[in-house]
Structure 1
Amino acid sequence: MLLSNVHIWNYRLLLDTNIHLDEALTLIVGKNNAGKTSFLSILQRVLSGRKDLDFADYPIQCRSTLYEVLWKVVKGKISIGKAKDLIPKTTIQFDIDYSNEAEDEYLGALSPFIIDLDINNNIARILVEYQSILSDTIISEITDKISLLKVTNPTAKSKKSSEIIAISNYLSTNFNKIFEISVKAINPTNPSVFQIREVSHLRDVFIFKRISAERGLDELDNHDKKPIGQVMERIFQDGVIPFEDNINKKIEKLKAYVEQESIKAQDEINKLLEEIITKMIRFGYPTAEDLQLKATTQILLKDNIIKDTDLAYSISGENETLPSSHNGLGYKNLIKIVFLLQEFAQEIKKNSLSAIPLLFLEEPEAHMHPQLQTVFVKYISEVLEGFTGNKIQILISTHSSYIANSVPFTQVRYFKRLKECVICKNLTDFYNTCQNDEEKQNNLQFLHKYMTISRCDLYFCDKAILVEGAAERLLIPDMINKCDQAGLFNTKSPTLASQYCSIIEVGGAYAHRFFDFIDFLGIPTLILTDIDFVTSKGKKCLKDKAKRTSNATIMKWCHDKLNIPLSTTVKIEDVYKLISNDKLTNGFRHIEFQKEENGYHARSLEEAIMNVNRELYGISHSDSNFSFDSEKQKKTNFSLQLLTDDDFLEYQTPSYIVDGLIWLNNQEKIVYPVTITVKEKRKQNLTIKTIKD
């Protein structure tokens, strides 16, 4: 059995967020503050059985409704019973798939949550709600707060506003009185039917382990507790059996030895201390009438082992060692993770027939170099199964493009921040859509290969720029700064120069393969490409002899925006129509290519730069027959000259790039708002019918 789906309502920005989980590994990606940690937080809260809810975790979008409802109760406008139905609940729903289990197989802790009689249904649904528990006592306390708190609020338009503020102040310190946890087994075939269950029943369903992001590894030589000491501390805890039997035997032998030696050392030291104290009596204290002094000490070798044990590094065949501070933190982090995995594996073995193993790894890439990150995520499932022999569902949150790009699309969940909430995009949906179309399927295969061999961080950026080659990749950051310094981005703050913009080198022949992926992720993206004039026979030429473009991205754009059939050749006149008919934007995407400037229409980036910087390149203003000779000068050298040569630092940026950067600057990072409809609010407050156990 496995956890197939998690649906969350009203927890921080997770107002209505559905997360479909892979049967093996689910990778959770997204920008900072996109809800990844919130997802982990509510999982840990609920699966650990915490009965309270923190005020800080209750969505701001729900608070105004809560305040309004409580105010109406205080004023006698509605009853407490009515209020309980109106207050938005924080809710999480688990769907557990047991279709792979045999009919006579033991379902263990899941059994209390299977309440339907449909033999064709193989889903068990658990609903956990933090529901309101208003009482006369709470309403009385709120009433007293309103009457006693003299709110000074010059912006308040009415007495009601001040009273609402008083309610808010009361809740900020008494929120745990308002909600309590409720666990229900829901009939998936008839959601209005449920049975109440204990919190302990829910805890028994999962073996949940969280390995948090490692932020505390310290290389200081005088650090109080070395990282490996944290492992030793766990080893010396009573009842902890974290490893395989052969290792545990060694651990028990170590514990016994440490205890025996501690007793021996303690007895010997106490004798010596007593002799020292006895010799001190001659100084006049204590006398026979006083309480007598006796020296004792507690020797706990395990404390020294925990505090001072560290890893040392040695060369094979040599007796000399170096301290762990002479090696990287990545391996320390890896050792800690492996130890915790071993401990988790033993817990799974003890409960393998009765619970679902669920492991959440938070940003395991800390201190790991890129290759180690890739290998780690590639083999984590295999290693865990080797420890336990069981299938384990693993959830990994990450900010690492190396980890993200090494995982198939079907295992990636993209958390996206909107203006009012967070949504989770299941890349399995994107994958499945591409399977129905040959062109999209080819694009999908290209994307997977590209993202595997190249560092592509589309999952983590605010905005993206797709460029043809290294020349653009080198120059675009500098061109963004030039536009910013010239005040061209003054309509937005912060400007594009301060936003996280991913510049991705894709080549002119491949940018269009990203179109569907960009649309799915919803990332504002600028495509900068070359117009690439060619003759009817496909030979490179200037504008006056051009019949079409050889640029595959521009041709694809023309087919889409001008409704030109794929079987029809795109003419150069069609390309010009994109500009004249304002067809350069398509949803989240905007394309720019060379335009006519100074009476000349360049066909490439280099020619466009030369055209608007004629003085720097010794080109007369009347010359309309020059070109960039890639055989005499490499494109990267051309770009580096502009960035490093003092004579070229004040170069001008071609207008098509300026126009594109201004468009991208003006796009919202959080693209569109989402409002909760009345229907959705009703869905959050399920009206369901109880049946007898």
Structure 2
Amino acid sequence: MLLTKINVQNYRLLVNAWMDVDSSMTLIVGRNNTAKTSCMDIIEKVLKGHPLSYDDYPLSKRQELFDLFTSFMKKDISYDELNEKLQFTSVELTIDYSLDDPNSNLGALSPFIIDVDVDTTSALIKAEYGLKLDENSLYELFEDAFYTEGKFLPNLEETRDICNSSFSKIFGLTIYAINPKNYSDTQIKTQGELSELFPFFSIPAERILGEDGAQNNSSLSALITNYFSVNVDELNSDVATEIKNLRKIVEEANKTVQKHSNELLSSVVNKAVGFGYPNAEELQLGVSTKLRIDEQIMDHTKLTYTSDVVGETLPSSHNGLGYKNLIKMEFLLADYAQRIGQGNNVCIPLLFIEEPESHMHPQMQHAFAEYLETFLQAITDVHIQTFLTSHSAHIANTIDFSKIRYAQKTTTGVEYKNLHTFAQDNPTNMDFIKKYLTLSRCDLFFADKIIFIEGASERLLLPDMIEKCEKEGLFNSQKYKLPAQYYALIEIGGAYAYKFIPFVNFLGIPCLILTDIDSMIDGRTKSVVSKGKTTSNVTIKWWMRKLKNISEKSKISLPDVIALKDDEKTMDKCHLEFQTEEQGLCGRSLEEAIRNVNRTHYGLSVTPSEAEIEFDEKSKTDFALKLIYDNPNYTIPQYIKNGLMWLNDQKVLM
């Protein structure tokens, strides 16, 4: 049995968010503040029976909440109508058990299967924070906020204060089993039954590693000393043998030290006491101390790192945080696997790891992501569905594309987009995108905006050009200008940029494509722009065919490309820019466009020919570096400025 879908309603930014869950591992990526963790937060709340707070209720829904309470208090709507109209916070979980043996025990899922149809292989569970207070109690709670000396005088601030302080009193958690073929057919279940079905464990991003030497309940050292209290029968046989030996040694040491300590201290006390007491006929003084070596071990055990070369040890604080983070996660995962192995194996364990990349260098991040599933399979026979959130391009590169869910924030909430769905709908260019993202970095998953560029010159010059445009005041239309926005600069080339256009539109990320016009006489012969008949640039040709509905066999006309209006250079969330005419000439590449608008620097006449601005150097990298070093005040080609100003003005939220 597997969890296949999650629907969260009215929880923080998740107003109505669906997530397709992978059978083994689901990676949630996205830019900052896109509710990557919120989905797991609300699941943990309902599985542990935690109350809902006012801060968890969406900002966008609060005015509607206040309006409905106002209507109820004014008696314009009844309590039942209020209950129907309120938009509650809820989680729906869809379980598929089609692959299970029909004759096998469904274990913890059994209480939630209420459809008697033998052909039904899915179960639907809803956990909802509905109205908990009865009509009279709810009225009394808000009465002072709406009535003054018997008059209806609503006070919004006081209403908000009551919601803030009493939200968990107003709304309570109820668990429903729902007939997937008849949504109105429901049964109320207990929170205990739900938590038994979904053993949940989370490893938060803020992992305490005990780096300061202090030990607490969640430090790495504490995890190790817990072996003194664990039931050895529940451990791996090799580990259990070692733990038994350790406990035996400690027990014998306790007895020996206890005996010698008592004898020694009793002798000291009897010799020190005078004044005739005790005499030989009285009970003699003795001392009994309770020494517990195991407690000392548990309270003072610290991780150390030993050098086999010199035979010396160093404290754990001398080792890298990345290794400690990895070691701690291994212990936590092993502990979780042990606990779910003790109980009902017919369940759906859920594991959530938030930002595992903390303190890890790129290679370690890659190794962690690559071997996590293998590690889990090695430590337990129970199938665990794992959720990861990450800001790491290295982890995103490692995880299979089909397992990635992109969290996109919109003006109405957050959507979790299934990249596997896009791959199925766009098979023609998906292989290239997968390979490119594997070889390159998945920065586009974490950026607010994207700039696709041709090659080395653009990669070196664009950051400097953006800084220059800011100094010229070209970005003043926005409070937060482009340099302060989170943009990703991705080198892809004009031959392949078009393959990403449907993808970035699917993700909903504003995208600027800076490419070369690449004028040609025909399909084989380069030419200056003024004499060009067509273009060799594949992305421009793709754009023209989409825009003008031109067939694949038809030749793209260069004059038609040059004649494109500004609005025709924008398609959904993408904008295309290429070289334009300046000072009477148009270069066919970035380098030629730069030479054209910086004629004095390159020793050109005031009115050069197209042949004179032609770029014939061997290294584009050298060209870009020389420009920045020798002519820091160079002029930026206008098409670059146009594209950057367009990107600067784009809104991230749709």
Written as runs of structure 1 = structure 2, the 5 A alignment for 1:223-242 is 223=214, 228-239=220-231
Tell me which residue corresponds to 1:16: 16
Give the Cα–Cα distance (whole angstroms) in 2 for the partners of residues 343 and 351 of structure 1: 13
Tell me which residue corresponds to 2:638: 655
Q: Note the C-alpha offset of 1:174.
A: 1.4
Contact kept in structure 1, 2:90 and 2:129, CA below 8 Å = yes
CA displacement 1:262-299 (0-9 Å, x = unmatched): 4554565566667777788789xxxxxxxx99895664
SS in 1 for 2:202: strand
Written as runs of structure 1 = structure 2, the 5 A alignment for 1:551-590 is 551-578=537-564, 580=565, 582-590=567-575
SS in 1 for 2:501: helix
Written as runs of structure 1 = structure 2, the 5 A alignment for 1:539-618 is 539-578=525-564, 580=565, 582-618=567-603
Q: Is the aligned partner of 1:216 residue 2:202?
A: no
Q: Is the aligned partner of 1:446 residue 2:432?
A: yes
Contact kept in structure 2, 1:242 and 1:343, CA below 8 Å = no
Give the Cα–Cα distance (whole angstroms) in 2 for the partners of residues 240 and 209 of structure 1: 22
Tell me which residue corresponds to 2:486: 500
Contact kept in structure 2, 1:29 and 1:414, CA below 8 Å = yes
Give the Cα–Cα distance (whole angstroms) in 2 for the partners of residues 250 and 3 of structure 1: 38
Contact kept in structure 1, 2:325 and 2:359, CA below 8 Å = yes
SS in 2 for 1:355: coil
Q: Is the aligned partner of 1:198 residue 2:207?
A: no
Contact kept in structure 1, 2:98 and 2:121, CA below 8 Å = yes
Tell me which residue corresponds to 2:612: 626
Give the Cα–Cα distance (whole angstroms) in 1 for the partners of residues 647 and 273 of structure 2: 86
Contact kept in structure 1, 2:225 and 2:301, CA below 8 Å = no
Gaps of 5+ in 2: 276-284
Written as runs of structure 1 = structure 2, the 5 A alignment for 1:335-414 is 335-351=327-343, 353-414=345-406
Higher relative contact order (CA 8 A, sep 6+): 1
- Equivalenced residue count is 641
Q: Is the aligned partner of 1:310 residue 2:279?
A: no
Q: Which moved more, 1:467-476 or 1:613-622?
A: 613-622
Contact kept in structure 2, 1:71 and 1:167, CA below 8 Å = no
Tell me which residue corresponds to 2:29: 29
CA displacement 1:379-400 (0-9 Å, x = unmatched): 2112211222333211111111
Contact kept in structure 2, 1:608 and 1:654, CA below 8 Å = yes
Contact kept in structure 2, 1:313 and 1:322, CA below 8 Å = yes
CA displacement 1:464-498 (0-9 Å, x = unmatched): 00001122112111111111121111111111110
TM-score normalised by length of structure 1: 0.87
SS in 1 for 2:601: helix
Q: Is the aligned partner of 1:207 residue 2:199?
A: yes
Written as runs of structure 1 = structure 2, the 5 A alignment for 1:37-186 is 37-50=37-50, 52-135=51-134, 136-144=136-144, 160=153, 163-186=155-178
Give the Cα–Cα distance (whole angstroms) in 2 for the partners of residues 494 and 280 of structure 1: 80
**1:397 counterpart letter in structure 2:** T
SS in 2 for 1:128: strand
Change in Cα spacing, 1:75 to 1:581, as seen in structure 2 (3 Å) is closer
Tell me which residue corresponds to 2:281: none
Contact kept in structure 2, 1:235 and 1:241, CA below 8 Å = no
Q: Which of 251, 261, 283 matches 2:243?
A: 251
CA displacement 1:57-94 (0-9 Å, x = unmatched): 11122222222222333333333333222222111011
Change in Cα spacing, 1:366 to 1:630, as seen in structure 2 (3 Å) is farther
Contact kept in structure 2, 1:263 and 1:299, CA below 8 Å = no
TM-score normalised by length of structure 2: 0.92
Contact kept in structure 2, 1:242 and 1:344, CA below 8 Å = no
Q: Note the C-alpha offset of 1:19.
A: 0.6
Give the Cα–Cα distance (whole angstroms) in 2 for the partners of residues 417 and 274 of structure 1: 74
Give the Cα–Cα distance (whole angstroms) in 1 for the partners of residues 333 and 119 of structure 2: 36
CA displacement 1:247-270 (0-9 Å, x = unmatched): 122123323433543455456556
Change in Cα spacing, 1:39 to 1:271, as seen in structure 2 (3 Å) is farther
Q: Note the C-alpha offset of 1:434.
A: 1.7
CA displacement 1:500-555 (0-9 Å, x = unmatched): 10000001211011111111101000000111122225222212332211111111
Contact kept in structure 1, 2:562 and 2:580, CA below 8 Å = no
Change in Cα spacing, 1:252 to 1:173, as seen in structure 2 (3 Å) is farther
Q: Note the C-alpha offset of 1:365.
A: 1.2
Change in Cα spacing, 1:166 to 1:270, as seen in structure 2 (3 Å) is farther
**1:234 counterpart letter in structure 2:** N
Give the Cα–Cα distance (whole angstroms) in 1 for the partners of residues 233 and 514 of structure 2: 58
SS in 1 for 2:579: coil
Contact kept in structure 1, 2:452 and 2:489, CA below 8 Å = yes
Change in Cα spacing, 1:258 to 1:74, as seen in structure 2 (3 Å) is farther
SS in 2 for 1:367: coil
Contact kept in structure 2, 1:363 and 1:397, CA below 8 Å = yes
Q: Is the aligned partner of 1:522 residue 2:508?
A: yes
Written as runs of structure 1 = structure 2, the 5 A alignment for 1:256-267 is 256-262=248-254, 264-265=256-257
Q: Which moved more, 1:236-245 or 1:12-21?
A: 236-245
Change in Cα spacing, 1:263 to 1:64, as seen in structure 2 (3 Å) is farther
SS in 1 for 2:563: helix
Change in Cα spacing, 1:275 to 1:605, as seen in structure 2 (3 Å) is farther
SS in 2 for 1:91: strand
Give the Cα–Cα distance (whole angstroms) in 1 for the partners of residues 511 and 189 of structure 2: 49
Change in Cα spacing, 1:277 to 1:611, as seen in structure 2 (3 Å) is farther
Change in Cα spacing, 1:78 to 1:134, as seen in structure 2 (3 Å) is farther
SS in 1 for 2:426: helix
**1:27 counterpart letter in structure 2:** L
Contact kept in structure 2, 1:533 and 1:548, CA below 8 Å = yes
Q: Which of 481, 492, 495 matches 2:467?
A: 481
**RMSD across aligned C-alpha pairs, in angstroms?**
2.6
**1:444 counterpart letter in structure 2:** M
Q: Note the C-alpha offset of 1:304.
A: 4.4
Q: What percent of counterpart residues are identical? A: 40
CA displacement 1:86-129 (0-9 Å, x = unmatched): 22211101110000011101100101111112222210111111
Contact kept in structure 2, 1:214 and 1:333, CA below 8 Å = no
Q: Which moved more, 1:37-46 or 1:129-138?
A: 129-138
CA displacement 1:328-362 (0-9 Å, x = unmatched): 22121111111122122222323353211221111
Contact kept in structure 1, 2:7 and 2:91, CA below 8 Å = yes
Give the Cα–Cα distance (whole angstroms) in 1 for the partners of residues 532 and 73 of structure 2: 78
Q: Is the aligned partner of 1:455 residue 2:441?
A: yes
Give the Cα–Cα distance (whole angstroms) in 2 for the partners of residues 168 and 146 of structure 1: 12
